[in-house]
Amino acid sequence: MSQLTHFDAKGNARMVDITQKADTSRAAEVRGEVVMSPQTLELIEKGGMAKGDVLGVARVAGIMAAKSTPNLIPMAHPIMITGVNINFKILPPDKIEIQGIVKTDGKTGVEMEALTAVSVAALTIYDMCKAVDKAMEIQNIRLVKKSGGKSGDFVREGEKPWEE
Amino acid sequence: MSQLTHFDAKGNARMVDITQKADTSRAAEVRGEVVMSPQTLELIEKGGMAKGDVLGVARVAGIMAAKSTPNLIPMAHPIMITGVNINFKILPPDKIEIQGIVKTDGKTGVEMEALTAVSVAALTIYDMCKAVDKAMEIQNIRLVKKSGGKSGDFVREGEKPWEE
Amino acid sequence: MSQLTHFDAKGNARMVDITQKADTSRAAEVRGEVVMSPQTLELIEKGGMAKGDVLGVARVAGIMAAKSTPNLIPMAHPIMITGVNINFKILPPDKIEIQGIVKTDGKTGVEMEALTAVSVAALTIYDMCKAVDKAMEIQNIRLVKKSGGKSGDFVREGEKPWEE
Amino acid sequence: MSQLTHFDAKGNARMVDITQKADTSRAAEVRGEVVMSPQTLELIEKGGMAKGDVLGVARVAGIMAAKSTPNLIPMAHPIMITGVNINFKILPPDKIEIQGIVKTDGKTGVEMEALTAVSVAALTIYDMCKAVDKAMEIQNIRLVKKSGGKSGDFVREGEKPWEE
Amino acid sequence: MSQLTHFDAKGNARMVDITQKADTSRAAEVRGEVVMSPQTLELIEKGGMAKGDVLGVARVAGIMAAKSTPNLIPMAHPIMITGVNINFKILPPDKIEIQGIVKTDGKTGVEMEALTAVSVAALTIYDMCKAVDKAMEIQNIRLVKKSGGKSGDFVREGEKPWEE
Amino acid sequence: MSQLTHFDAKGNARMVDITQKADTSRAAEVRGEVVMSPQTLELIEKGGMAKGDVLGVARVAGIMAAKSTPNLIPMAHPIMITGVNINFKILPPDKIEIQGIVKTDGKTGVEMEALTAVSVAALTIYDMCKAVDKAMEIQNIRLVKKSGGKSGDFVREGEKPWEE
């Protein structure tokens, strides 16, 4: 039967006990999008070439956020991240796609770390462009793939490989 | 002419100088959604009644995240938040809508604080339900309204009032 | 001979070297109390039932604080917590008892994590009720039990089992 | 009528709106105790003279913790602390008394900052002595005095002045 | 008479009371250097052009570190930074010079924020190049200029203007 | 061929993947200096004896900063520090030398932790003395020794052993 494991038998929130789980290699891939006006996308694109690197700052923010996950998500276990990559794809006329991959060798998965990294990278893009475009939207943050751990691998249906 | 103000004339990222701006009352309202399977929504709904309060934990996470915004978003100014509300609407069969309202009396706006609060509340819902539903999606995080400050008020087109 | 291990031979504070210690399963149980007026206790009790869940917020605060322990306690080692439970007992007319249990699989114990979790849960109860009762007291924070590690188990004399 | 202001009319936790409150000078004094074996107290006392300054480390921890209060206490407002003092009194045969005074010029009080400072100073004393005395207790953390703000001054009954 | 104000009359460390000080516009400029092998400097220079932007990452790290200053420096007051700029000068054959400028409108100066920003930018350069050059040195971190506040302006003797 | 490993083949910053590296015992020793006026050095020296322990506070700050390293340095991996020592040498007429030793049993080295610890200890000395001497300089922060890990040991040329 399905259960929300973050609660005990009385319904009280808890950090689930993973003491006895073994350390295994794990990875998670998350994707999401920032949708904006074509003018804003153009400004970001030009900046990446010449001056004002929005995506460079957003990448740093996403990587650092992955490390802050247990301080943000109440029931998340602290975990020793062993690698983070954040990639961006500019999709004219109005979209930036974000990919975050997080790895660990530990007792629990890194889905939350990858979701947090992509969310904070998206928020940083918003922050750096909000002076020209307040109507930007963060869309479609979702887990695309996960490997390692007892619960087995997960691959989201209908996702295409990330090509660069 | 439109400009990304978070860069100087040479294109280097900076925290924009707001030293001379006056303190004014400001507010920002952000909304977003978590889309999930109907079974997961049902589990959350039942928990809210009897045992296992997913939304109560997500609300605390969102409020605390609003205070962490300047540690997550590189060019965001530290700001003294004076109030935060996080509300949820359960929309069967498969959606939870989140509203975050943040207030301040300061030199700069609180859009980033409200966006961060709603994003982390959404991530927390994901975290607490991921054991039963890894395919949940975070959708449609957007600024709905903003007031105060020199740049004037912003109201996103086509948004209906939040009714409870 | 007894020694304060957090100092070197010259009396300088240090983080004790535990590099060579083995990872073992460890747990610590801490208890403490918040004493208040009967009227305040009644407000909390009613809230728990219907609206305004003081103890739910305090539980989240305690669990998150366990993860912040090495940032608060100068000589505490960082440690990978593998589980946290915070429980409350309402003891009319004027007392709430708090129990915190923290687990790890690591090189050092989690007494400080459990003590910090219970202290911050108690502080949060104070915070949420201080508008009606400034005279509340935090009492009797103490280690009740500890297991694992080379120094062996500890059971505090005279403690009764926690019954729910 | 008494109310827990950290909840809205529906009983949902919130950070109370203080946008319209004026900045005023405020102070809070908190006291608490760490009770231990006479042997432990003696070790601390000797350390203060010659080598191994437990109370010096605890003082730094308490001052830093006052600044972390809004990150620990979910509904606490961020606030610009303008001064912190932590004092200790060694009370043979078995007790250390701690006094924390926190000041601000702001929209809300600093009771939580002073309570957190004293709690973390007490936890640090525990941490540095736990190798020799696991049965230490933290007792009697309470607000002794508070001034400033609309709700007026508070002086706890029966408290004697702190003499050094 | 000269005094270390961070101690009280008994010699106990404290956060100095600034409650009664007025908010004024303040700024601080700090400079420092990272000295390395000519080969390392060349790698950084090429990266800035084409791929691998060491200085872009170091700039983000420095700006974020300015905001973390009160969490790192025990007796530093929390302060609302209103602007940060980090600039770099590549000085062949073997040196990068760093300039940090921090501003505020507050009760105390921002020297520590600027010193921390430059130090962390330097540490980040070290981190990103340490795989090829472990012998790099951080040199000459010093306050160059400070304005605002009751103690008056400070200009370090013998410093030339920063030219770009 | 030399490479800046913190960038991928396209030049994008990343946290390097260390998932497959084995845990090994590692240590790093860093040294640095604070140069000041002879009067300031004298004040610190007297304080250490009688009242106002600048170096005691700086030691605590350095130890705590070692634990904050992954939050400050963007591409640094989180790591479980297993020991920290911070030592000071007063070198009349105008210099304090700082030594930081950090240990771990992990997948990556602790050079950055030791460099951060010494830098923050130096910044804290500046902070506590800046009321009497704004012209102090932080000099010569460098890695002196490192052991453990696949890349082998490093000993900086020309360094003498630290004698106390």
User: Cα A123 from chain centroid?
Assistant: 11
Per-residue pLDDT of D65-92, as tens digits, reads 999 999 999 999 999 999 999 999 999 9
Determine contact, residues C77/C107, Cβ cutoff 8 Å. Answer: yes
E42 contacts: CB under 8 Å, gap ≥ 6: none
* Both structure tokens of B86: 């996080």
Per-residue pLDDT of F110-147, as tens digits, reads 999 999 999 999 999 999 999 999 999 999 999 999 99
Domain C24-149 is in which class? Answer: alpha beta
DSSP assignment, residue D57?
A: H
User: Where are the alpha helices (H) located in F50-153, listed in sequence order?
Assistant: 54-72, 111-129
Q: Which residues of F are annotated as a binding site for substrate?
A: 75-77, 112-113
Told to judge if C53 belongs to the known catalytic residues of this protein, a careful annotator would answer no
Q: Among candidates F148, F150, F91, which has minimal Cα distance to F114?
A: F148
Task: Tell me what pLDDT residue C46 has.
Answer: 85
* Both structure tokens of D50: 């010659």
Determine contact, residues D146/D154, Cβ cutoff 8 Å. Answer: yes
CA angle, residues E157, E158, E164, in degrees to nearest 5? 120
How far apart CA C104 and CA C145 sit, in angstroms, is 14
Interchain contact, C43 vs D2, CB within 8 Å:
yes
Q: How distant is the Cα of D36 from the closest Cα of chain B, in angstroms?
A: 35
The helix or strand, by DSSP H or E, that contains position A120, with its residue range, turns out to be: helix A111-129
Q: Which long-range contacts (CB under 8 A, 24 or more apart) does F18-23 make?
A: F18/A82, F18/A83, F18/F77, F18/F107, F18/F108, F19/A25, F19/A82, F19/A83, F19/A103, F19/A104, F19/A105, F20/A25, F20/A105, F21/A82, F21/F107, F21/F108, F21/F150, F22/F107, F23/F105, F23/F106, F23/F107
How far apart CA C156 and CA F116 sit, in angstroms, is 40
Of D8, D23, D127, D153, the catalytic one is D127
- What are the residue ranges spanned by the domains of chain A? 24-155
In sign, the C-alpha dihedral spanning A123, A124, A130, A136 is negative
Quote ipTM for the complex.
0.96
* Both structure tokens of B53: 């309060």
pLDDT, greater one: B91 or E5: B91
Among the four given CATH numbers 3.40.50.360, 3.30.1330.200, 3.60.20.10, 3.30.70.640, the one describing domain F24-147 = 3.30.70.640
* Both structure tokens of C5: 């291990």
C32 contact D CB<8A: yes
List the single best residue of E55, E71, E82 to mutate versus B (max B Cβ within 10 A). E82
How far apart CA D2 and CA A144 sit, in angstroms, is 50
pLDDT, greater one: B151 or C75: C75
F100 contacts: CB under 8 Å, gap ≥ 6: F29, F30, F31, F62, F66, F84, F85, F86, F87, F114, F115, F117, F118, F121
Subunits that touch chain F (at least 3 Cβ pairs < 8 angstroms)? Answer: A, C, D, E
Per-residue pLDDT of E57-70, as tens digits, reads 999 999 999 999 99
Contacts with B, A 137-156, CB within 8 Å: 137-143, 146, 154, 156
Q: Is pLDDT at C163 greater than 90 in this prediction?
A: no
**pLDDT winner (highest mean) among D15-19, F51-55, F68-72, F152-156:** F68-72
Task: Tell me what pLDDT residue F49 has.
Answer: 47
F56 contact D CB<8A: yes
| DSSP SS3 for F132 | coil
How far apart CA D160 and CA D140 sit, in angstroms, is 14
Determine contact, residues B124/B61, Cβ cutoff 8 Å. Answer: yes
Tens place of pLDDT per residue across chain B (164 aa): 347 888 888 888 999 999 999 999 999 999 999 999 999 999 998 875 444 589 999 999 999 999 999 999 999 999 999 999 999 999 999 999 999 999 999 999 999 999 999 999 999 999 999 999 999 999 999 999 999 988 789 999 999 999 86
How far apart CA B30 and CA B140 sit, in angstroms, is 10
CATH topology classification for A24-155: Alpha-Beta Plaits (3.30.70)
Q: What backbone torsions phi and psi does residue A27 show, to the nearest 5 degrees?
A: -150, 155
Peptide bond into E92 cis (omega under 30): no
Subunits that touch chain D (at least 3 Cβ pairs < 8 angstroms)? Answer: B, C, E, F
A78 contact C CB<8A: yes
Q: pLDDT category, F27, cuts 50, 70, 90?
A: very high
Per-residue pLDDT of D27-73, as tens digits, reads 999 999 999 999 999 999 887 544 458 999 999 999 999 999 999 99
C113 is an annotated ligand-binding site residue: yes
Task: Tell me what pLDDT residue D52 has.
Answer: 59
What mean pLDDT, rounded, does chain A reach? Answer: 92
- Its CATH architecture, for the domain B24-148, is 2-Layer Sandwich (3.30)
